[in-house]
A and B are shown apart, each in its own frame.
Chain A
Amino acid sequence: MKPKIAFFDFASCEGCQLQVVNLEAEMLDVVGAVDIVQFREAMTEKSDDYAIAFVEGSITREKDIPRLKKIREQAAILVALGACATIGGVNCLKNFQPLDEVRKYVYGDKADWYETFPARPIDAVVPVDYYIHGCPIHKDELLKVVKSLLLGKKPEIPTYPICVECKRAGNVCVFELGSTCLGPVTRAGCGAWCPTHRDNCAGCRGLVPDPNTNAEKEVLKKYGLTVDQAVGQFRIFLGYAEVAK
């Protein structure tokens, strides 16, 4: 029997679900191998009988919690889809400002109408089985994870830093271009997407496990930076980790 798959989203831009649709030709193969039972962005038909749930987005308000817990109860396998779900992502930037003030800035004297609490990744609320990192997720990695799940295998996600992929790609180091880069401390798997386009890595895939031993510290040292200093310069995606530390 084909596995039943469902897609859900919380606070996010829905760009990672768009990446699923952007698989294009490969999407037809995936659609042939699975039974998609719920995907609001793309379909009207829906069923709550699913085995694998892909969840995009951060948890940002009280009423998100019971909804996520219900998904967790139903799904045998829960996969966090993209940076908002895996590490909190851009939504966590608001956590660094008083939330009352944040609400007032956007909604003025009607601020009380809009419920919000500090943004968090989904594993701050329920256990997550697998992570597809990135902002946005990379199509190749998405396919790799889906294939592993269909074969009943544990998906292999890199534990080494972006620098490894960047060097393999033969890129000029972003530090050499005069910028600061989180490649030395960020989990690989995107093929050094941004540095290959001469932009710095901003850490959207999260830190490598145990950055103090796994980071490419010699790269940082050469440019006079410690792990903490490098991370401190970039809060776009890593805000949640910075505070949780």
Chain B
Amino acid sequence: MKNININVDHVTRVEGHGNIVVNVKEGKIEECKWEVVEAPRFFEAFVRGRSYLELAHITSRICGICSIGHTLCSLQATEAALGVKISEQTRLLRRILIQGENLQSHVLHAYFLAAPDFVGAPSVFPLVKTHPEVVVRALRMKKLANDLCDVFGGRTVHPITPTVNGFTKLPGIKEIKAIRQRLAEAVPDLEATLELFKTLKIPDFKRETEYISLKSKEEYALYDGVIASTDAGTTPVENYRSWTNEYLVPHSTAKYTKHVRDTYMVGALARFNNNHDQLSPQAKKAAEELGLQAPCYNPFMITVAQVVEAVHAVFEIIRLIDEVLDKGLKEEDRRILLKGGKGVGAVDVPRGILFHDYTYDKNGICLEANCIIPTNQNHANIQKDMEALLPQILDRPQEKIRLSLEMLVRAYDPCISCSTHLLQVKFV
């Protein structure tokens, strides 16, 4: 019987630090563990004492990749706590921003972090020589999404203009029209992306779990809505604590969560399973072409669901921009009446549903804060997937096992800085 020792110290091509540890003695699995080893940063503690105007800027720094999502979720929580009702214009611009971040993040993950595994490359860099047209296309799509976020948020990494009850500066109509033109011209790039991802052989593995995301009557929800589960229906976002149930495990600096079952999944596949009916016709067609059908229980299909969402993002942003151009933009009065209170924000960011929860005193100084991060909600599910996958692939050579487990973790697109903030494989 065989012995396997895998010890991936810091899984690569993910955001943050996590390890995979596998120990098999004489064909018997003794250890199979997903460890999060990122340095804890203590955001929830150190935002206490800061002003309501600073909270979004500070919590944006939880994560460089989903800084727009953190900013918007933070603003929602602050506005809910202070009783601020934002205008339709502000909500419209924020919905464009979150779609822009989803596009940017999904292109980065699908092309740069996940795809190299399927062509046997250790990173995207060797592909610059072997597949230059693919790399250039991916960079062009990413740049489009980044430029869009620059126009609507002032900056892609840690946006500047979104603030409590509006924007410090509105995007220019000329710049918006230029971005709309480029989005329309990006359709051939989306088609080429679909052709590429159709050729990738997605590992055949299934483990059914609970899928949790936002849900909205109005649209494929990212910016707002209620919490939805494949097992338990829906609940208002204020009930997030009883649906996430955070707990700690000794081998991880990130917190874990559970709801109806031992584990649940958040992110693009969870959203797809809950809300696929509301995708744009182009995204529905993309899902069909890529063989993605709801309900899908294969975590390796998360990357495919991201590609589908990227298609959706382009057409959805065009639709939302047309709404902006139709209505026009006007400077709004952002002043608010300061009072204390407690409020919850929830945004479905690229890696899944995110919650911020703040309490303020009457001067707008933060007294309490709690943030529940998408990757935290996925850690336990990753662990259970690894435990289910490993016995199915034990007959393979150690290197192949290691690669499969890494690909599994990478499929979740974990954002480890966020979740403690996770990834490395250890075969010990």
Are A106 and B143 within 8 A (Cβ)? no
Inter-chain contacts of A24 with B (CB < 8 A): 139-140, 142-143, 146
Do the beta carbons of A135 and B61 come within 8 Å of each other? yes
A192 to B153, CA, bound (A): 16
Given known A-B contacts A19-B157, A22-B157, A102-B45, A116 and B40 have beta carbons under 8 A apart: yes
How extensive is the interface on chain B, given as a class? 35 or more
A13 at the B interface (CB under 8 A): yes
Q: Tally inter-chain residue pairs, CB-CB below 8 A.
A: 164
**A136 to B157, Cβ gap below 8 A?**
yes
B124:A41 contact, CB within 8 angstroms: no
A-contacting 9-mer, from B10-18, B279-287, B318-326, B378-386: B10-18
Q: A11 near B143 (CB under 8 angstroms)?
A: no
A89: Cβ under 8 A from any B Cβ: yes
Residues of A within 8 A of B146 (CB): 22, 24
Given the complex of chains A and B, what is the CA–CA distance between A199 and B45 in angstroms? 25
Instruction: Report which residue of B48, B62, B67, B125 has the largest number of chain A beta carbons within 10 angstroms of its beta carbon.
Output: B125
List of A residues within 8 angstroms of B50 by Cβ: 93, 235-236
Chain A contacts for B158, CB-based, 8 A: 15, 135-136
Shortest A4–chain B CB gap in Å is 13
Give A200-228 interface residues, CB cut-off 8 Å to B.
202
**Listed stretches B76-84, B160-168, B213-221, B306-314; interface member:** B160-168
Find out whether the CB atom of B124 lies under 8 angstroms from the CB atom of A44: no
A-contact 0/1 string along B50-94, CB 8 Å cutoff: 100010011001111101000000000000000000000000000
Chain A, 107-148, CB within 8 A of any chain B CB = 107-108, 110, 113-114, 116, 135-136
**For A64, what are the chain B residues with a Cβ–Cβ distance below 8 Å?**
39
User: Which residue of chain B lies nearest to A27 when distances are taken between CB atoms in the complex?
Assistant: B139
Could you say which of A21, A25, A114, A199 contacts B40, with CB atoms under 8 Å apart?
A114
Chain B residues with CB under 8 Å of chain A are: 10, 12-16, 39-42, 44-50, 54, 57-58, 61-65, 67, 108, 112-113, 116, 122-125, 128, 135-136, 139-140, 142-143, 146, 154-158, 160-161, 163, 168-169, 248, 250, 253, 417-418
Beyond A21-B112, A96-B49, A107-B248, 20 additional contacts (C-beta under 8 Å) are: A13-B62, A14-B63, A15-B63, A22-B146, A24-B139, A25-B139, A28-B128, A40-B12, A41-B14, A42-B112, A42-B124, A90-B58, A97-B48, A106-B45, A110-B248, A116-B39, A116-B42, A136-B155, A136-B158, A194-B154
